[in-house]
Structure formats: C-alpha cells, structure tokens
Structure 1
Amino acid sequence: MKHLSLILERNRTALYPDVTGGTAAEGFPVKQKMKGKRVNLLGLLSFFVILGFLLIVYLGADILTGTLYFNYHHFVKKLQNSITPIEHSEHFMISAFLDHRVDRAIRVISIIRRDSLQPLYCIYHHYYSDYQVVTAEVEIHSDHFGFPFGAADVLCRGPSTQNASHVAVSTNTSISYSMDFLPVRNRVPTETFQYNFTICISSLFRNYNNALQFAQTMEMYKLVGVQHVVIYNTSCGPDLEKLLQHYQREGILEIVSWPVDQFLTPSAGWNSQKHPGDLHYYGQLVTLNECVYRHMYQSRYVLLNDIDEIIMPYKHANLPLMMQGLQQKQKNVGVFLIENHIFPKTQFEESHKYRRPEWRNIPGVNIMEHIYREPQRPHIINPTKLIVNPRYVLQTSVHSTLKSLGEVYRVPFNVCHIIHVRVALQGRLSKEQLLVDSRVWDFEDQLVPNVDRALQSAGFNLYDHSSFTQATVLE
C-alpha cells in the first residue's frame, strides 16, 4: 500500500505541476501553490480579454452616440448579401466604391425605382470614427428600357470621403442600430493589376444549362489570354453547376450570387412590352456596372459580353497582342466596340468531324459544328459588345458606355469580332447564303483535349452515352 500511495502521489504531481516549475511533492508550500493558481487565472483572464478585443476589431464594432455596439448578425449579413434593401424605400444598394476620378466621391451602385425617388442620404464613417451624413446625389442611368426599376449611382460627396471605410444609403439622417453598411472598395488606386483580361458575364437565370458551349467558351478564352471570368448567378442547371464549381476550384472563375428574383420580378428580356417585369433582363445593367467598378484596379481590361459570345481576335494570335497593337495606335481610347456576328446553331458543318461521341451526352451547343456566319445586312449596323479600360468608364450599358473618359473606337471587323452561336436572326437564309468562318478550328489541337479534361474534372463521364439532358439556351 505504501508503494501504491507513492506511485499515485508521483502521478498526481506529474499531472499538476506548480507554475514555478516544481511540484507540491518537492516541498513547495501550499501558499505558493495557491499563488501559482492565481497567476494561471490572471493569465487566462488576460487571454480572454485580448481575444474579445480582437473579435470586436475583426467583426466590426461601431461607436454610435457614445455607445459601443456590436452586431454579429449584421456583420455576416454584410458579407453575404449582394443586394441590400434601403429601409423605408423601394430601392436597393448593391456595392460601394471610392471614385478617385470624381472628387473622391463614394459611388454606391444601386437599383432605384424611377417613379418613387425620395430624398436620400449617405451615412459614412471610418471604422470607429464619427459618422458623416450628407445629402446623396442620385443618377439613374439613361438606359432602363422602360422598366420601373433601373440601374443608378448614388453619389456621396462630403468631407473625408476618401477615408471612409463603410457607407449606408438612408431615407433620413438618423442612424439606427439595424442599419446595413456596405464596405467601401477601391480605396487605394493602383497601376499594378492582378489580371490583364477579365470577362464580366452579367447574369445566369432560369436554370441555364448550356454546359458544352460554356466549357468550350471558357477553354477558348483561356487560349486567347483571359485570366479571370466573373459570373453573376441567379440560377443555373445541374450540369452547368458542375462546371461552375470546377472553374471556381481552378481559380479562373469568380461567382457572385445574384438573388435578384428574391427582391423583384426581373424581366427575362430587354423589351418591357414583350417581357414584362420590374427590372431589365435580371438586372444586366446593374451587374455590368458593378463588375466594371469591382475590377477597376484589379484588371487592365474588362470584356463585357454574354455567356454564349466569344470576343475573338482574327489578325492576332491572342487578346494581349491585339490590344497592344490597338492601344499603340489609339492611345487615348478607353472603350473598344466589338461587332457581334451571328452563327446560327441550326446550320451544321457537313463533315461532322467535331460531332464527337465523347460530347454526345453533354447538354448544350457544340460551337465547333457551327462555322456559318450570317452576312452583313445592308443599311444595318451590327450591335456591339465592349472591351474597356475600366478606369475610363463611369457608366455602361450593354452595347456601349453611357458615360466615359477618353475616346471610343469601333474595332474593324477583320481585326476582331464576336462569335455568337445562337438562333438565327436572318432565318430565311440557306446555308449557301451564309459565310464560312472557321476561326475556332485554328485552336482545335489544344481546345478539344482541354474541353475533355475540364468536363472530366467537373465529373462528367465522356464515355457513357446512355442518357442526355437537353440544354436550356438563352436566346
């Protein structure tokens, strides 16, 4: 028993050493042991005090009318929401940017109900500094296509806007605890860009599932020099979702959640008479402007086009070489207009050499099979999409900018034009009346295996032809 007691005592003192480095069994008095415990408690208390302070700094505490308040719920809400209602109004905030070109005003990209515009106010602050309240200037974009809601800029001009870290738009000048603030981006301008070319794809909706064309388009863009693609996603089909996740993991794709249908009834088209709703084409004009400002200091150039369009260089091997040549001759140009040309998806090349069995089970359009282009129509100017220097753009529409700095240049058709595989515009034309344009075939040696790898990485079985899911295609 004596030996057992000694063993137990040794185990106890080994497990619970005194903070001085010795143990109670080694003869330290009980008073010293209690002192060590007090030191432990003080150390633990100090740790939690420091941890609490760091959490407050990290999660966002505000000093409001002399009271420190901390609202974790609103912090999480700020991070997750891409659309924020403005209290006591029918309007919405999207995102906020410091505009160094316009007196360092804060520009809040917004959705405004055009017939219900009341006075609005900007409330901004720099972390724990005092709040500033100024009257907002509201600029509703001229292109709204007759819909009740339109893209708009809410401009906040006031003292020390260049130091603001957060901003809110309000219908009154009072500050409430429930108010949602947006972080102010683009606070530090830079001439060093993370990307040379970024593509902004305005919105996916109605379970769009054109997976094969999307994979081919993404791989084609990588071959011509694009490093970054941004998609505003309302909804898409299950096959396209797999590809979105693949490209997001790969690092080339940024997906911005765009739940506009939870706040408004968006139109599925541009014509308010044919496609009624609250807002043009699922907020296309809003997302295009948001994307330009989001990449103001991240990307040298931004391409504004649809998911089924490829802005294709014809005289140069890739986009960097093309833009280098264009910019050398057009030094003051910040907006380049690229003609859109239709390749009817109902006309197939006759050899069927790209009708590959590996792609038979992938829903969507195979752009390699559609090399027939509609001819130019007399007295009709083709619509355009854009390559822009985002630092030159103040407001943009779909086919042209609304407000910009510098000059605008329409790129010649033989230098660059858009390959747009979709339903025909000149549907009465026979195949013989169409023009052969097989530019995509120039990339086949790399494009075909790259598409295969992307599809397989996304989880598609290229050798299972037992089922087929029809694609939903935006016309």
Structure 2
Amino acid sequence: MQGNKIFIEERLNDGPGKMRCRINFRFYMLLLSAVYFTMLYIFHGNLQSETQKPDRNKLSMGVEMQNAFLKIQPPIDIKRKVLASHQEFVEITASRLHVQQVFTTSGAKRNDIEVENSIISTKRTSQMIQKTSECFLPAVTPNRTFQTIEPTFYVYSAYLDRRYNDRFVRIMALLSLNKGNRQLKVSCSFRNSSGSIVETTANFYELCENHGRMYGGFILSCPIPNSDVCHVNVSLQIKPVHRNYVVPETVQVRLPVTQLGWQEFPDQTSGQHENHGQHATFDMPYNFSICVPPLFGDIDVMRFVEFLELNRILGFQHFIFYVSTIKNPDMYKILDHYKKMGIVTIIEWALPSNIRSGQIWYNGQLSAHNDCLYRAMSLTQYLAIIDLDEFIVPHNGEITLTNLIPKLFDDKVCGLSFNSAFYDKKFSKSTSTSRLLTARHTGRSAIFSKVRTKVLIKPSKIFEVGIHHISKPAAEDFKVDKVDTSVAYLHHYRDCVPNYGMKCKDFVEDNTLLNTTSQLEDNISSVLKLVFKERKKQE
C-alpha cells in the first residue's frame, strides 16, 4: 500500500501525464474498495455460519438454532409448555362459562339462582387453576393414555396423595392377574426438593371387583418424602418363579402427577392424623358432580341429553365422562356443546390394544371409577357414580339434592348407598306420548334391590370405590350410610332382571318425576336446537 501511494504521487508531478495518472488513481481506489468489500463479505459469512451452530447458551441466534435446541431439551420442558397451553385454554373457557350459561338457560326457563351458582362456580374454577402449580397435570386434562411397561403391565395416571401423615403417589395400573409364574417389583424414582434422585418400592393394592378376568385394576402406592413430586418414573423388575417362564423386556415410563385437592382429611377428628380438621388446598369449583363409566357403542342422543338435563334439575353441576368408542357422531357434537359450557369434562379412555374383549371386566369400568375418584378430589365436594340409565331421586318432598345430601353427611360419613328400583316399560300405566323416557316409564318394581345399589361419596374420604359400593374408606373410622327409600333411591330405567333376590312380577306406579317434565322438555329442546342449528351453519 505504501509503495502504491508513492508511485501515484510521483506520477502526479509529471506535466504531460496528468490525465493518465488521474485514471490510474481512480482504478486503484476501485480495486482497493473491491478487495475491502470482498474480505468483509467473507469475514461476515464465516461469522454467521459459526453462530448458527446449536448452542444452549445462545438462544437468540436464529430460528434454526432454536429448533435444534428444542430437540435436545428434556421432555419435562416440553410437557410444561403443553400444560401451560392447556391451563390457558381452561382459564379462557371458565371465564366465558357464565355468559354461555345465561344465554342457554334463558330460553330453557332456568332460574336466577342457577345462573348465580354458575358464576360462582366459574370464579372457583379460575381460582383453582391459578393456585395449581405449573408442574402438576390438571385434573381436567383429557388426553391421558395407558403406557406399556411390559406386554401385560400398563400404567395410566398418577396422583399426589397428601391426606395421610405419610405421602404417596397413587398410580392407576392394569396388569395380568396371572401371579403363579412370576414376582413383580415396581420401583418409583423422582427428584426430591433438594434435587436428588430418590427411588422407592411401590405397594400393590388389587381392586376388589376384577371378577376373575385375565386383566385387573390395581392402585400402586409409592412412598415419597415430605415434598411435592411433579413427575414419577416407573420401572418394573420381574423375577421368574418357573424355569420355563421367559422374562419379557421392560421399559421405564414417566407419568405426570396430578395433585389431590385436599392436604389431609377435611373435618377429621381422629387422633391418627396429626393435621386433621384443616381446609382444602383450594376451594372446590363444584359441590355436586357425577362420574359416568366408559361410554362406548351406539348411544342415543335424546337419552343422553335427558340424562344430563334431568340431573341438572336434580342439582348436579358437573359431569365427568370417560369416552371409549362412540359410534353416533352426533354424540360428539353434544359433548362438545356441554364441554364449552364448562358442564362436562371428557376423559379419553382407550384400553391397550393387547387387551381383548372379555379379558377385562366391562371395558375397564372399575379402573375408570377409581381414576375418576382421585381426579374428582380436586374438582368436587360430592360425587355420584352412576350410569346413563340411572338417576338418584329424592322422595321426601325435596326437588333437588342440594338441600338433602349435606344433611345426610357428618364428620364420619364418607358416602351414601342408595337402593334401586327398576323402571321397566312393562310396568308403566302411563299413556304419555312424551319423548322423555322418565315421563313414559312411570311403573317401578314393587321391591327395591339391595344389591344393585349406587353410591354418592365425598371423594376425599375414600381410598377405593367399587361399582355398586364403597370398597375401602380412607380411614377406619369412616362409615357408609344406607339411605332409606322414603328419603331417596335410585331410578333404574331398564328391563327388570330377576336375580340377586329381585322379583319382577309386582310393580307400583311412581309419578315423582312428572313434576319435572315441562321444564325438562324445554331444556332438551333448547339444547338440541342450539347444537344442531350451529352444525347446519357450519355445514
């Protein structure tokens, strides 16, 4: 560069060559500029290629690098983002709940008290969601699935149980009941509050109504330290009992944990619990709810809406449906309608493909019942577990259960058992042409079934629930009260079955529910018109 500068200055002093020297000067300036910009381009190109390499400490270096980073993040971070999205969705739905209910119920002649209760329920739902830690899986999360640990061992959900002095993670599981050829050890590992990995051995508890099928439901209880556990890793060790047993391969699965609504037993005065008598972690969004076992097959839309609307008149506010396989596509429209209103929670229930029909009792009904039991502990004060053809109806002059049920509970009562009567179409003297099943079938069996009972419970006071009874209260001093039929009983709308001591020859007329017919007709018409009118607009 210095030599070129001297050369140019010498040429400028020549008289005759002034113009030529000026041209050479411009040429060299252009050449230098070209060299400069070429080096600048090469330098910045190399710099950019280096910054695009995935680096966890430089998240702002571009979209490609961010995508590469996300691929190598642990599953917990992705899960938390999913949970945050789900939480935001539920909050938005809850915030619109009372507006939609006012609109829907105005044409169906709902009273102001119900609308006011809906608004209160909405606020409680929002409070519950806000107070739920980000790492816990919300109870209303619909898309849980059975995860395979080995070909005959599956886990579905996990719940943090802090009702006792010792804390546990309760895991809902399905597994083969063939115990003669192997011994199983389930291990649970998780991080404690200090960040250390802790491993404990699960205790097996077999549900009481597996009915001797090949597969049955279990509750696995993993002891945990005095800290919250947001995820649990479940692994299995198999010890063969016989030489010819081939031990299958096993995998470790990770389950997100849902916290129960209660820190410990509410209103409990027993001395066996140190922290008895304190309040729940957060207010329950609902007082009265219904859990329905897995829905499958061809379900009639009219019967389904009648079930929902009549139970709402009776005082129930929320419904939890486990959905397996429904053939009628209109059912999904109805479910979606009630879901948007905040009245229905839908839980996916798909049994593992390896479990064939007949290998488990009634589509895994018992396991669904108990999953609903633990799920409901953060949703509702009272929970009835019934089928679509059943209604718990007061017979003491009350129209709703709202005033009746709390009077039947005290500190020691964990649940109520209701005898049932068959409402068979052959029994009815009614000449009604109503489309309502409850208006046409007014004849019931003269005697009540003490076997085909159904229960209404306080979920927080139950460890295991059966199909027709409470299998295990959460404390030894809790009790189940049988409700006298003069107070309330179960209306069961189906053909009378003469077993378990039931006699189907004698019947009596029962017009108790006819006082709800007018309002029920209006409510159903309003729902069907709204749902299928919206569908036509979309089509």
Give how far 1:153 is off: 0.9
Give 3-state SS (helix, strand or coil) of 2:187's partner. Answer: strand
2: CA distance, partners of 1:418 / 1:150: 28
Q: Deviations over 1:160-210 (max 9, x none)?
A: 5x322111321149xx997431111116632510111121101112x2322
Aligned mate of 2:288, from 169, 193, 197: 197
Relative distance call for 1:141 and 1:188 in structure 2 (3 A) is: closer
**Matching of residues 59-208 of structure 1 within 5 Å:** 60-61=76-77, 80-87=143-150, 89-102=151-164, 103-116=166-179, 118-126=183-191, 129-160=195-226, 162-172=227-237, 179-186=252-259, 189=262, 190=281, 192-205=283-296, 207-208=297-298
Q: Which residue of 1 aligns with 2:532?
A: 459
> 1:285 offset after TM fit, Å?
0.5
Structure 2 CA distance, aligned partners of 1:295 and 1:57?
Answer: 33
Match of 2:508 in 1: 435
Deviation at residue 441 of structure 1 after TM alignment = 1.2
Residue 213 of structure 1 is aligned with which of 300, 303, 311?
Answer: 303
Residue 394 (structure 1) shift: 0.4
Q: Is 1:203–1:234's contact at 8 Å kept on the other side of the alignment?
A: yes
Q: Give the aligned residue type for 1:101.
A: R
Q: What is the one-letter code of the residue matched to 1:211? A: V
TM-score by length of structure 2 reads 0.64
Q: Describe the shift of the 1:43–1:210 C-alpha distance in structure 2 as closer, same or farther (beyond 3 A).
A: closer
Aligned partner of 1:230 in structure 2 is 320
Q: What TM-score does the superposition give when structure 1 sets the normalisation length? A: 0.72
1:381 and 1:211 map into 2 onto residues whose CA distance is 30
Deviation at 1:50, TM superposition (A): 8.4
Partner of 1:334: 414
Which of 393, 404, 419 is 1:312 aligned to? 393
The answer on 1:350 being equivalent to 2:430 is yes
1:18-73 deviations in Å (ceiling 9; x for gaps)? xxxxxxxxxxxx9xx99xxx99x9995289888988998895259xxxxxxxxxxx
2:453 is aligned with 1:369: no
Ranges in structure 2 where 5+ consecutive residues have no aligned partner: 1-36, 42-46, 53-57, 79-136, 239-248, 263-280, 535-539
* CA RMSD after TM alignment: 3.6
Residues 360-380 of structure 1, C-alpha deviation per residue, up to 9 Å, x if partnerless? Answer: xxxxx7232101011116xx6
| 1:389-446 Cα deviation digits (max 9, x unpaired) | 001110111111111031110011121111111112259856xx42111222111231
**Equivalences, count:** 388
Q: Tell me the alpha carbon deviations over residues 326-354 of structure 1, each in whole angstroms, 9 at most, x when there is no partner.
A: 12xx4420111011211003445433242
Map of 1:299 onto structure 2: 380
Contact 2:323 2:346 in 1 (8 A): yes
Alignment-mate amino acid for residue 259 of structure 2:
N
Tell me how far apart the structure 1 counterparts of residues 381 and 66 of structure 2 sit (CA, whole Å): 42
SS in 1 for 2:310: helix
Q: CA deviation at 1:147?
A: 0.9
CA distance in 2 between partners of 1:58 and 1:343 (Å): 56
Alpha-carbon displacement from aligned partner over 1:190-238 (angstroms, at most 9, x marks no partner): 2510111121101112x23222221111001111221111111111231
Following the alignment from structure 2 to structure 1, what is the Cα–Cα distance between the partners of residues 495 and 260? 44
The equivalent residue for 1:421 is: 493
The 1:172/1:178 distance shift into structure 2, 3 A limit, reads: closer
Is the Cα contact below 8 Å between 2:431 and 2:440 reproduced in 1? no
Return 5+ residue gaps in structure 1 as ranges.
Answer: 1-29, 63-74, 267-276, 356-364, 462-475
Aligned-partner Cα distance in 2 for 1:343–1:108: 38
Contact kept in structure 2, 1:193 and 1:299, CA below 8 Å: yes
Note closer, same or farther for the CA distance 1:460–1:214 as it changes in structure 2 (3 Å cut). farther
| Partners of 2:386 and 2:177 in 1: CA distance | 26
Q: 1:295, 1:390 within 8 Å by CA — same for their partners in 2?
A: yes
* Larger Rg, first or second structure (1 or 2): 2
The percentage of counterpart residues that share the same residue type is: 23
Match status 1:321 vs 2:403? yes
